[in-house]
Amino acid sequence: MEKARRFCVFRERCYHETLVKVKSWGIPYELVQKIMNQLQEEKFINDSRFAGVYARSKFNANQWGKIKIQAHLQALRISNQDIREALSQIDPEKYEAVAIKLAQKKSAALKPELDSYTRKAKITAYLLQKGFEMDIIKRINEYVK
């Protein structure tokens, strides 16, 4: 139990991530369930809290878009409600400002002799890879040269 607590204290963890780790210790299934229940009761694990921290940190540090954040949270088996709540905490103005900044940075890195269609296609592909929504990308492509 103490080992599981230390694992959760190191950084915010979700239920699935913790379950996989505890199972990897070779503990019998009944004990694994007791440990997981205890961790939830003691609030070491909270998927809603985890989703919020994860979304904010991936957006702020890695400049990921909402689609990419959502996909990664779904891979960690976070509920859709918790994901929606976490993504709603991202400031829309800051979100669009980050997308514009990334598009401008990508545009500056491209060869100047590229035609506008190819330039926009490359910027679009880059922003899609970062997880931004197509409607935002279309608006941004109008600003970027």
User: Tell me: the pLDDT tens digits for 2-44?
Assistant: 999 999 998 999 999 999 999 999 999 999 999 999 999 999 9
Residue 117: alpha-carbon gap to chain centroid:
30
Structurally, how many domains does the chain consist of? 3
Mean of the pLDDT values across residues 74-93? Answer: 96
Instruction: Please tell me whether residues 96 and 138 are part of one structural domain.
Output: yes
Instruction: Please tell me whether residues 101 and 137 are part of one structural domain.
Output: yes
% residues pLDDT > 90 (the chain): 90
pLDDT at position 103, please? 94
% residues pLDDT > 70 (the chain): 99
Instruction: Please tell me whether residues 51 and 73 are part of one structural domain.
Output: yes
Instruction: Please tell me whether residues 107 and 81 are part of one structural domain.
Output: no
pLDDT at position 114, please? 85
Instruction: Please tell me whether residues 132 and 106 are part of one structural domain.
Output: yes
Instruction: Please tell me whether residues 112 and 139 are part of one structural domain.
Output: yes
The amino acid sitting at 23 is K
Determine whether 145 is exposed, middle or buried from the number of CB atoms within 10 Å of its CB (0-12, 13-18, 19+). exposed
Instruction: Please tell me whether residues 77 and 111 are part of one structural domain.
Output: no
pLDDT at position 115, please? 87
Task: Return the structure tokens found at 107.
Answer: 């545009």
Instruction: Please tell me whether residues 51 and 22 are part of one structural domain.
Output: no
Residue 43: alpha-carbon gap to chain centroid:
22
Instruction: Please tell me whether residues 84 and 98 are part of one structural domain.
Output: no
In this structure, the number of other CB atoms found within 10 A of the CB of residue 20 comes to 11
Helices 29-41 and 15-24, axial angle in degrees (round to 10): 140
Model-level pTM? Answer: 0.90
Domain limits at 82?
47-88
Instruction: Please tell me whether residues 107 and 128 are part of one structural domain.
Output: yes
Instruction: Please tell me whether residues 107 and 78 are part of one structural domain.
Output: no
Averaged pLDDT of the chain: 94
Residue 113 sits at the vertex; the CA angle it makes with 65 and 101, to the nearest 5 degrees, is 25
Instruction: Please tell me whether residues 8 and 27 are part of one structural domain.
Output: yes
Question: If pLDDT is split at 50, 70 and 90, which confidence band does 112 have?
Answer: confident
